Chain A
Amino acid sequence: MTAVSFAFGLVAFGLLAPVLGCLLTGADRIITARLQGRVGPPLLQPLYDVLKLLAKEKRQLQPFQGFYILLALILAILAGAIFFAGGNLLVVVFLISLSTLFFIIAAYSARSPFAELGAEREIIQVLSYEPMIILMPAFFFMVTGSFDVSRALSLELPPITQIPLIFVGLLFVLTTKLRKSPFDLSFSHHAHQELVKGITTEMSGRTLALVEITHWYETVLFLGYAALFFVWGSPFALVIGLLAALAIYFLEIIIDNSFARVKWQAMLGWSWLVTVFCAVFSVLSVLVVKNYFL
């Protein structure tokens, strides 16, 4: 990744990703509504919501809360730009973790009981998906020999053929990262929950609008993680990757509508179980393939 490609990635991701994220979130709401037998909002409803929030009066309990959320947004944009410019996957993963951490700090800074509990749950969520998310670049390195995302475009076969279990593991934690049932403990987009609005309870107006925009950027980035498994050195690769991302998003919507929200003990236990299982068997399969077939 050069400076030029990074700048290009920044501009392209910075401008296109919110559009795509908004459309994806809007489609999510309409499909969810149709699955439930309702009509659903217009497609651009997330945009209308953000515009409405930006127009609201500024009411903050604590002056730095908006600043932390702004940092979270900037880090998410940087992470996505590096990813789509073909940069280092490990850097991407850690920048996104830092973004989530600032989100948690913003919630703690409000010092309200609901926001604190929501922040605690968010920390538990991070604990449950971080192992899998860190293993993903490690296995990517095992398969391609480099941490650079751009190496995927020069592969002979898509990574899914060599590390399918890591893809399954990623799908499992993607539910948590995209904030969907059964693992939407800290901040659910729609369902009522005991924490009122969880981690974003004390956020309103401009701050909440920035949270929503961060969510759009993150959605596009995480679907990019999933699409990475379907990309190889073929002219059709990017199309296949895009279709795979959309199919995975649809699957996540169906999962969201088929499960209740579980308690944190179940989420942590299941996520680590799946992570360990997928990691162990993937290591074995990659080593076996490397030693005996190559």
Chain B
Amino acid sequence: MGSFRLTKMSLRNLGRKPATRPYPQQPARYTPRTKGHIVNNIELCILCSICQKRCPATALTVNKAQGTWTINPFSCVQCGTCVRVCPKKSLRMQPEYTAAAAQMHDCTLVKPEPALDGERSLGSERPQRSERLPGSERPQRKPRPERPSRIGC
């Protein structure tokens, strides 16, 4: 039985840098594998909706008719199941966490070319005007972001 058993370690701590970091004054540190948020390369996505069926948090909604893939990043629990089951490997997990926001919002990506028939090569041109049915509207285009960002989408 003795006393002051922890004093040596405490005094050593005085000489070292603190083990804690003042976040958010100093930015968070991530590893390459950190599960932060999901991004989708919409050009590769075939809107098969396997990811929606397998999501345990029901955070994904895929609408093949409208060509949209929606994720609610605040419902997502970053389990990575969607990334693993995606047949075209268009889904990826990025390290940064979703930023805090005052209101939950969805993040929707729109498939650039409407799926008219069969396969379509990636990044191909829009179909010719003559191929469209008369009177059909061009689908609304959301401005595509440069690269998926952390806030909103």
The answer to whether A and B touch directly, with their CB atoms under 8 angstroms apart, is yes
Give the residue name and chain of the B residue nearest to A257 (CB): B10
Per-position 1/0 for B1-41, Cβ under 8 A of A: 00111110011011010111110000000000000000000
Contact between A37 and B16, CB atoms less than 8 A apart: yes
Chain A interface main SS type = loop
Q: How far is the CB of A259 from chain B (nearest CB, A)?
A: 7
Contact between B13 and A35, CB atoms less than 8 A apart: yes
Within 8 Å by CB of B3, from A33, A36, A259, lies: A259
Chain B interface main SS type = loop
* Complex CA–CA separation, A37 to B4 (angstroms): 17
Interface size class of B (residues with CB under 8 A): 10 to 19
If A34-B13, A37-B13 touch, whether A258 touches B7 (CB-CB below 8 Å) is yes
A-B contact count (CB 8 A): 36
Contact between B18 and A33, CB atoms less than 8 A apart: yes
Q: How far is the CB of A96 from chain B (nearest CB, A)?
A: 29
* Complex CA–CA separation, A40 to B16 (angstroms): 14
Contact between A36 and B22, CB atoms less than 8 A apart: no
Q: How far is the CB of B65 from chain A (nearest CB, A)?
A: 54
Q: Which residues of A contact B20 (CB under 8 A)?
A: 37-39
* Complex CA–CA separation, A257 to B20 (angstroms): 18
* Complex CA–CA separation, A119 to B5 (angstroms): 31
Q: Which residues of B contact A39 (CB under 8 A)?
A: 18, 20-22
Contact between A38 and B10, CB atoms less than 8 A apart: no
Contact between A36 and B13, CB atoms less than 8 A apart: yes
Give the residue name and chain of the A residue nearest to B18 (CB): A39
A135 contacts the other chain (Cβ, under 8 Å)?
no
Give the residue name and chain of the B residue nearest to A253 (CB): B10
A126 contacts the other chain (Cβ, under 8 Å)?
no
A23 contacts the other chain (Cβ, under 8 Å)?
no
Give the residue name and chain of the B residue nearest to A260 (CB): B6
6 further A-B contacts with Cβ under 8 Å, apart from A35-B14, A254-B11, are A36-B13, A38-B20, A257-B6, A258-B3, A258-B4, A258-B7
17 A-B pairs (CB sep. < 8 Å)? A34-B13, A34-B14, A35-B11, A35-B13, A36-B10, A37-B13, A37-B16, A37-B19, A39-B18, A39-B20, A39-B21, A39-B22, A254-B7, A257-B7, A258-B3, A258-B7, A258-B10
Chain B residues at the A interface, C-beta cutoff of 8 Å:
3-7, 10-11, 13-14, 16, 18-22
Pairs A-B, 9 closest by C-beta atoms = A35-B10, A37-B19, A37-B13, A39-B18, A258-B7, A38-B20, A258-B4, A257-B10, A34-B14
